[in-house]
């Protein structure tokens, strides 16, 4: 998590925090379970910190170019496209946990169907 400022304002005035959630591509069953626990922990920490800026390392999860375009062309008083609000940030983490739950279920079913063990 990062405390950030806005066009010369101090963080204490703006009270904005950014959370950078790095999502892995392919994980084993055990790593996915650890990932889910990590999402829960990060969700609690970011809720307490009132994180309201979404930064993501995968463009599929949060396309950055439209936000960069809006940021480059915004006028004074226009909203910052990266500030999504604390509630939306928490929803994003809910989606990350949901996706990992689905992936874990798929891997488990695939392992059972192929005669393997998870």
Query: Which single residue is written with the structure tokens 């396309």?
Result: 63
Give 1-49 pLDDT, tens digit per residue: 556 666 655 443 345 667 766 666 666 778 888 888 888 998 998 898 8
Helix axes 29-49, 86-113, angle to 10 degrees: 170
Distance CA 45, CA 107 (A): 29
**pLDDT for the residue 108:** 76
Give pTM, 2 decimals.
0.72
* DSSP string covering 8-47: T--HHHH-EEEEEE---S---HHHHHHHHHHHHHHHHHHH
Q: What pLDDT sits at residue 26?
A: 62
pLDDT band at 118 (very low <50, low <70, confident <90, very high): very low
The yes-or-no verdict on residue 60 having pLDDT over 60 is: yes
């Amino acid at each position: 998590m990062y405390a950030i400022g806005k066009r010369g304002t101090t963080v204490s005035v703006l009270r904005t925090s950014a959370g950078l959630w790095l999502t892995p591509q392919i994980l084993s069953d055990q790593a996915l379970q650890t990932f889910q626990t990590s999402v829960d922990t990060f969700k609690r920490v970011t809720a307490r910190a009132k994180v309201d800026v979404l930064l993501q390392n995968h463009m599929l999860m949060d396309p950055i170019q439209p936000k960069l375009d809006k940021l480059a062309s915004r006028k004074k008083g226009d909203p910052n496209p990266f500030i999504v609000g604390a509630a939306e940030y928490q929803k994003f983490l809910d989606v990350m946990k949901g996706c990992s739950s689905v992936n874990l279920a798929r891997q488990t079913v695939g392992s059972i169907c192929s005669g393997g063990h998870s």
